[in-house]
């Protein structure tokens, strides 16, 4: 869900890993990260942050395999 900064004004800034920016760890200040699918972990102090764009892209996320495609066509 994209809120384009509108919700940020209401709830405040939430600390998260942003893949397109230089990310400083809130715990130690370093910028080395171990990036997974949904979280990024600081390589120095192991602080874990959610990734802003986590689980929104990837191979096979939106496409249907043949079984589901056949089931969808049978239901129509």
Q: What's the pLDDT score for residue 54? A: 47
What range does the domain containing 71 cover? 6-75
Judge whether 16 lies within some domain.
yes
The string of pLDDT tens digits covering residues 5-59 is 666 667 677 889 998 889 999 999 999 999 998 899 999 999 999 998 744 555 5
Domain contains 55: yes
Q: Is residue 25 part of a domain?
A: yes
The structural domain count of the chain equals 1
**What does the pLDDT read at residue 25?**
94
pLDDT of residue 64 exceeding 70:
no
The string of DSSP letters for 5-70 reads THHHHHH-----B-TTS----TTT----EEE-SSEEEETTT--EEEBTTTTS--TTSSPPPHHHHH
Q: What are phi and psi of 48, to 5 degrees?
A: -105, 135
Residue with tokens 């990837």: 58
1 assigned to some structural domain: no
Is 36 part of a structural domain of the chain?
A: yes
């Amino acid at each position: 869900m994209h809120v384009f900064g509108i919700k940020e004004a209401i709830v405040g800034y939430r600390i998260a890993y942003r893949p397109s920016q230089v990310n400083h760890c809130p715990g130690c200040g370093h910028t080395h990260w171990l990036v997974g699918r949904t979280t990024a972990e600081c390589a120095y102090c192991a602080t874990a942050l959610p990734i802003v764009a986590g689980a929104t892209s990837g191979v096979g996320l939106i496409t249907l395999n043949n079984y589901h495609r056949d089931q969808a066509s049978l239901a129509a």
